[in-house]
Chains A and B, each alone.
Chain A
């Protein structure tokens, strides 16, 4: 399975500023996913990032707030814009593995713990 390097591992940011989170994968993958995990909660999908096309956002998440880039098959960034304390969460990237068009699992980055003060 793929290995994902996610940076930064944690950050404390001032409200109104933006933070960009990076995920680097050690192999080419078609689909990358960005999740938010609010304190004590489960993972909620923010968007799906496919190389060469616009990211697909889930209900409740918009591109202006969470712009995503996917310049190639091994890299993606998520920006949390104009942050407020409500954005304090863990953000995780994930990649899907497939074999002959069948799902064979998902790998996650180590997560970014964001605190907005």
Chain B
């Protein structure tokens, strides 16, 4: 079974600095997706960034980028120029690539990110 591990329960960073959140996963599949979701106090799960396993190029979305190391099964999230609005719980998640039957998301334990002004 696939598993996702986030080893940092909490992280903090100064506003405008850069922070990296870690995620490792385990799967025997070669075709899959990895996601980072943000959950602010509002409870809404917000997609931050998505990576397709067959793409070697790391995904980027404005201030957010990933370091995808497929062989090491590592998928870290880098937030540049941290802003107060980035404070939230961040979840790493995995899903299979091909939709066959019910394909669920598998979540990591989450990392709580605090931004210090």
Contact = CB atoms under 8 A, between A and B. Distances in A.
Interface stretch (A11-19, A68-76, A79-87, A107-115): A107-115
Contacts of B42: 110
A110 B43 CA distance: 6
A105 B47 CA distance: 9
Nearest to A49: B102
Contact of B44 (A31, A41, A103, A110): A110
Interface string A93-109: 01010100111011110
A106 B95 contact: yes
A103 B99 contact: yes
A102 B104 contact: no
Given A43-B91, A103-B96, A108 B104 contact: no
Contacts of B91: 42-43
- The secondary structure that dominates the B interface is loop
B108 A42 contact: yes
Given A90-B43, A108-B45, A111-B44, A103 B109 contact: no
Contact of B105 (A90, A94, A111, A113): A94
B113 to A, nearest CB: 15
A24 interface: no
Interface in A34-49: 41-43, 45, 48
B95 A103 contact: yes
B107 A48 contact: no
B64 interface: no
Interface of B: 33, 35, 42-45, 47, 50, 91, 95-100, 102-105, 107-110
Interface of A: 31, 33, 41-43, 45, 48, 50, 56, 90, 92, 94, 96, 98, 101-103, 105-108, 110-111, 113
29 contacts: A31-B103, A33-B102, A41-B110, A42-B110, A43-B45, A43-B91, A48-B104, A50-B102, A90-B43, A92-B45, A96-B95, A96-B99, A96-B103, A98-B99, A101-B98, A101-B99, A101-B100, A102-B98, A103-B33, A103-B95, A103-B97, A103-B98, A103-B103, A105-B47, A106-B35, A106-B105, A107-B47, A110-B42, A110-B43
